[in-house]
Amino acid sequence: MSFRVCINCYGIRVYPYMGFMVGQRYQCQDCQEQMVIPLEFDTQEDYEAFAKQMGVAVNDQEE
């Protein structure tokens, strides 16, 4: 399962955001950043490796 990652805070709570005028975007629920193309990872391991490089603390998977 791939998942999307915020380009601003590198959080994983990025969801599609539909705007009538701007077309489809994504919005981060953590920092409210809107983006057209979020980062995308195929696996949790890929994301964790990336987050580690960026100095971001990775939370445990959501329940």
Query: Site residues (CB under 5 A) for Zn ion?
Result: 6, 8-9, 11, 28, 30-31, 33
Please, which residues have CB within 8 angstroms of residue 25's CB and are 6 or more apart in sequence?
Answer: 16, 17, 18, 19, 34, 35, 36
Please say whether the beta carbons of 32 and 38 come within 8 A. Answer: no
Query: Is residue 57 helix, strand or coil?
Result: coil
Nearer to Zn ion, 9 or 58 (CB): 9
CB of 4 to Zn ion, least distance (A): 11
Question: Based on CB atoms, which residue is closest to Zn ion, 30 or 46?
Answer: 30
Least distance in angstroms from the C-beta of 15 to Zn ion: 11
